[in-house]
Amino acid sequence: MSENYTDDSVRTLDWKEHIRLRPGMYIGKLGDGTSHDDGIYVLLKEIIDNSIDEYVMGHGKTIEISIQDDLVTVRDYGRGMPLGKVIDCVSKINTGAKYDSKVFKKAVGLNGVGSKAVNAMSSYFKAQSIREGKTKIVEYQQGEIIADHPLEPNEGKQGTTISFIPDRAIFGQYRYLQEYIEEMMWNYVFLNNGLTILFNGQKFQAKNGLLDLLERNIAGAERMVYPIIHIREEDFECAFTHANNVYSEEYYSFVNGQHTTQGGTHQNAFREAIVKTIREFYGKDYDTADIRTSLVAAISIKVQEPVFESQTKTKLGSTHIEPGGQTVRNFIGEIIKRNLDNYLHMNAETAEALHRKIMQSERERKDMANIKKLARESVKKASLHNKKLRDCRIHFNTNHEKRLETTLFITEGDSASGSITKSRDVQTQAVFSLKGKPLNSYGLSKKIVYENEEFNLLQAALNIDESLENLRYNNIVIATDADVDGMHIRLLLLTFFLQFYPDLIKTGHLYILQTPLFRVRNKKETIYCYSDEERVNAIKNLGTNPEITRFKGLGEISPDEFRFFIGPSIRLEPVILKRDLSIPEILSFYMGKNTPERQQFIINNLRLEDELTEDKISA
């Protein structure tokens, strides 16, 4: 019998209850900080965006940010929130100055939502405004006001300071990763020339906008086919080149300072304009793929009242620069046509280098056509006769609210893949089972991706043959044993992705699964330990003579236990590329010929491991 549907069944949530009950509506996924788009980074960004808006309007050239333990503090030197409206600005939904387009014509932050969402999802939140020689401070706990301080005199520099601690009741055992935050800081200064950001004492500045961004991300002039072309006009900026050893397109796109990782109408307009202009300049109808293969570009546009396809603003949906104004397509198309055409006429060496690159891409595409055809037929036959891929029901490139949770586990052997398959969430988690060790692909051409059955089936499962835009899973997780063989397989897979799909790593999609080394339990409690230190602490917590099990491989972990490791408590280690190292250098050092430098590196690390082991034994 169904429940009674009465007046008592209907309730109204206040602003903070609604945000805490449905956080995904406001910040996308939650996560634990191991992914660059996890909720804790969205909270940080929402607060910084408000300070950026002040800078854009001409108020305050420096933003100070600190993260100490869990406490985040953002201090700007803008105008400061109106002293009588501080409480309204941080705790009354749909309240803010950004509804007045005269004040914030092309704002970054959410309209009256951002700081409120941060407040509601924080175990502690403090807002302070200094303005007109006075200060107003208000403090909250999970969105509830706990201290409303009276106005007091203050001769400090005017501006706003926001401090908050993300609530572990919502985000679990999260952690901030330095690399992700530094990347965020760099993007802010690349997009705002003249802005200085101080993060934990480190200074971030840029002078040449997106030109600096591209130079930093390409890492090495030898990778560029021709010098970066940099265009700035009105509310649009772009920088681009073609890169060596890149097999797809790579974009860093922004709208009003927001990093649109999934592109949108502005990115589509740029891609279209590049093709059209180049065809007209050379007077030839080149294939679109031949022009755009290996293109690396950064683009930024400012749009009035932008429309995004999700609350987290990762894809622009606006078709016009401003309501009733010029279309995004025509606006970008005209700027690219005018500037790129002039540049190529004035820079013959660049025009010639670009032409050679297009010709090279055309030859490679034609050479690969038959191989790809045979590879696709091989995939179809293999799909009928093996179970290498146990797919999930939802995919990243489908329009579904859970698409950000989609995961593909790449496993070794039948036992490990069997346990994960039985334990997984069939809605969002898929499993790809390797057969033995994959090929060392270092130094090989992309032809091997289609000729090698293992690589062919893997790229087909990921759906990244033509473009990463078609990626079927948000998280690609390498799940191998923590022994010598498992580490070797992990290294071979990393080589494959670095060699052929580095942007998969650059965009934060690749992870290593952390599985427990020990199980410590007594009759009442079980603790899984991921290190010797955790094992020692678990023994202390459980008392006398607990049962200790050392897991030697993933196959030894039962499906029931795997549900714990790949569920909400999953531990993932992101694969992050350090900007001061080039991919060719990394691959050459670790996967090239056995050089004396690498031999010494191995010897030094073996000595370090022995010293650490001795320290643990003596302790």
Interval 347-380: pLDDT, tens: 999 999 999 999 999 988 888 777 777 666 666 6
pLDDT confidence of residue 204 = 96
Q: Are strands 295-301 and 250-255 parallel, antiparallel or unpaired?
A: parallel
Domain shared by 419 and 540, yes or no: no
Using DSSP, state whether 108 is helix, strand or coil: coil
Is residue 342 within 8 A of residue 278, CB to CB? The reply is: no
Tokens found for residue 557:
């972990």
Mean pLDDT of 370-398: 70
In a domain, residue 11? The reply is: no
**Lowest mean pLDDT across 315-329, 374-388, 426-440:** 374-388
- Give residue 600's Cα distance to chain centre: 34
Q: Are strands 62-68 and 510-514 parallel, antiparallel or unpaired?
A: unpaired
pLDDT confidence of residue 248 = 78
Q: Which residues pair with 72 in a beta bridge?
A: 67, 164
pLDDT single digits (tens) 529-563: 888 888 999 999 898 889 998 887 777 778 888 88
pLDDT at 28 over 70: yes
Query: CB 176: neighbour CB atoms within 10 A?
Result: 17
Q: Are strands 62-68 and 196-199 parallel, antiparallel or unpaired?
A: parallel
Domain shared by 35 and 107, yes or no: yes
Read off the CATH number of the domain in which 327 is found.
Answer: 3.30.230.10
pLDDT confidence of residue 99 = 43
pLDDT at 615 over 50: no
Mean pLDDT of 145-165: 94
Question: Could you tell me the pLDDT band of residue 482, with boundaries at 50, 70 and 90?
Answer: confident
Is residue 33 within 8 A of residue 175, CB to CB? The reply is: yes
User: What CA dihedral angle connects 297, 291, 345 and 353, to 10 degrees?
Assistant: 90
Domain shared by 118 and 252, yes or no: no
Question: Of 365, 399, 415, which residue sits at a domain end?
Answer: 365
Mean pLDDT of 557-577: 83
Is residue 54 within 8 A of residue 48, CB to CB? The reply is: no
Q: Are strands 202-204 and 144-148 parallel, antiparallel or unpaired?
A: unpaired
pLDDT confidence of residue 184 = 93
Is residue 251 within 8 A of residue 317, CB to CB? The reply is: no
Is residue 285 within 8 A of residue 222, CB to CB? The reply is: no
Question: Could you tell me the pLDDT band of residue 95, with boundaries at 50, 70 and 90?
Answer: low
In a domain, residue 379? The reply is: no
How many folded domains does the chain comprise?
5
pLDDT confidence of residue 258 = 84
Q: Distances from the Cα of 83 to the Cαs of 57, 60, 127, 136, 152, in angstroms?
A: 19, 18, 11, 6, 11
- Give residue 285's Cα distance to chain centre: 36
Domain shared by 168 and 224, yes or no: no
Is residue 160 within 8 A of residue 76, CB to CB? The reply is: yes
What distance in Å separates the CA atoms of residue 295 and residue 85, rounded to the nearest whole number? 48
Helices (H), 347-402: 348-385
Domain shared by 425 and 507, yes or no: yes
Domain shared by 111 and 162, yes or no: yes
pLDDT at 584 over 70: no
Range of the domain at 298: 210-365
In a domain, residue 8? The reply is: no
First to last CA, the chain: 63
* More confident of the two residues 582 and 177: 177
Mean pLDDT of 262-275: 93
Choose among 500, 384, 379, 517: nearest CA to 446.
500
Domain shared by 30 and 152, yes or no: yes
pLDDT confidence of residue 146 = 95
pLDDT single digits (tens) 61-81: 999 999 998 999 999 999 999
Tokens found for residue 1:
């019998």
Question: Of 332, 365, 398, which residue sits at a domain end?
Answer: 365
Q: Distances from the Cα of 563 to the Cαs of 295, 419, 421, 560, in angstroms?
A: 42, 9, 10, 6
pLDDT at 523 over 80: yes
Q: What is the DSSP string of 225-247?
A: SSPPEEEEETTEEEEEEEBTT--
pLDDT single digits (tens) 186-195: 999 999 988 9
pLDDT at 466 over 80: no
The residues, any chain, with a CB within 8 Å of residue 377's CB and separated by 6 or more, are: none
**pLDDT averaged over every residue in the chain:** 83
pLDDT confidence of residue 222 = 59
Mean pLDDT of 458-468: 83
Query: CB 199: neighbour CB atoms within 10 A?
Result: 19
Domain shared by 541 and 596, yes or no: no
Please give the backbone phi and psi of residue 300, each rounded to the nearest 5 degrees, phi first. -140, 135
pLDDT confidence of residue 137 = 95
pLDDT confidence of residue 608 = 43
Question: Could you tell me the pLDDT band of residue 103, with boundaries at 50, 70 and 90?
Answer: very low
Query: CB 182: neighbour CB atoms within 10 A?
Result: 15
pLDDT single digits (tens) 284-340: 999 999 999 889 999 999 988 888 776 567 788 888 888 878 899 999 999 999 999
| Stated length of the chain | 619
- Give residue 205's Cα distance to chain centre: 22
Domain shared by 226 and 269, yes or no: yes
In a domain, residue 269? The reply is: yes
User: What CA dihedral angle connects 375, 378, 382 and 388, to 10 degrees?
Assistant: -10
What distance in Å separates the CA atoms of residue 546 and residue 540, rounded to the nearest whole number? 9
Mean pLDDT of 28-38: 83
In a domain, residue 374? The reply is: no
Dihedral of CA 542/546/549/550: which sign? positive
- Give residue 545's Cα distance to chain centre: 44
Please give the backbone phi and psi of residue 36, each rounded to the nearest 5 degrees, phi first. -65, -20
Domain shared by 494 and 467, yes or no: yes
pLDDT at 101 over 80: no
pLDDT at 385 over 50: no
Read off the CATH number of the domain in which 54 is found.
Answer: 3.30.565.10
Domain shared by 442 and 498, yes or no: yes
pLDDT confidence of residue 352 = 96
pTM over 0.95: no
Domain shared by 192 and 224, yes or no: no
Read off the CATH number of the domain in which 448 is found.
Answer: 3.40.50.670
Is residue 30 within 8 A of residue 104, CB to CB? The reply is: no
Question: Could you tell me the pLDDT band of residue 619, with boundaries at 50, 70 and 90?
Answer: very low
The residues, any chain, with a CB within 8 Å of residue 284's CB and separated by 6 or more, are: none
